[in-house]
């Protein structure tokens, strides 16, 4: 009988402890947002440097046509636009994490929609530049 009473007491204590440790969505700080901004800036700068290097490389190739150079420029612009879109998405997601838990899903969904729109715009611009 005492064993059952002790076991029931242990289960009750475990349930109380588990209830106190309910999972809350993660919260971001202004430091997290600033870190995301720095990372995004670094990624954009790297994409710009790579794009510039690629255009110069194509320009130096003997027999490279204007079309080849335009293609390299379009690809570079696309890469920069995608780096910017990804960085903006990371920043927006971090900002969403600063909101109250009920507001986070809608904020994250909007950040995802903005990211998808930026990707689509980058793809359309690349296509237009290649033609």
List, in order, residues 6 or more apart from 98 with CB less than 8 Å away. Answer: 27, 28, 29, 30, 33
Which residue matches tokens 């588990």?
18
Q: What is the tens place of the pLDDT at every residue in 14-55?
A: 654 554 444 555 677 889 899 999 999 999 999 999 999 988
Between the alpha carbon of residue 18 and those of residues 13, 24, 26, 46, 105, the distances in Å are: 9, 13, 18, 46, 24
Q: What is the tens place of the pLDDT at every residue in 92-131?
A: 999 999 999 999 999 999 999 999 999 999 999 998 887 7
pLDDT at residue 19, as a whole number: 47
């Amino acid at each position: 009988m005492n064993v059952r009473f002790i076991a029931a007491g242990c289960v009750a204590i475990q349930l109380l402890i588990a209830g106190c440790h309910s999972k809350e969505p993660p919260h971001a700080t202004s430091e997290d947002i600033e870190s995301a901004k720095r990372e995004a800036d670094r990624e954009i700068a790297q994409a710009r440097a790579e794009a510039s290097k690629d255009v110069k490389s194509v320009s130096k190739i003997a027999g490279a046509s204007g079309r080849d150079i335009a293609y390299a420029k379009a690809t570079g612009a696309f890469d920069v636009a995608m780096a910017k879109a990804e960085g903006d998405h990371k920043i927006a997601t971090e900002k969403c994490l600063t909101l109250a838990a009920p507001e986070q899903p809608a904020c994250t969904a909007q950040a995802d929609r903005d990211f998808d729109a930026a990707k689509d715009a980058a793809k359309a611009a690349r296509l237009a530049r290649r033609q």
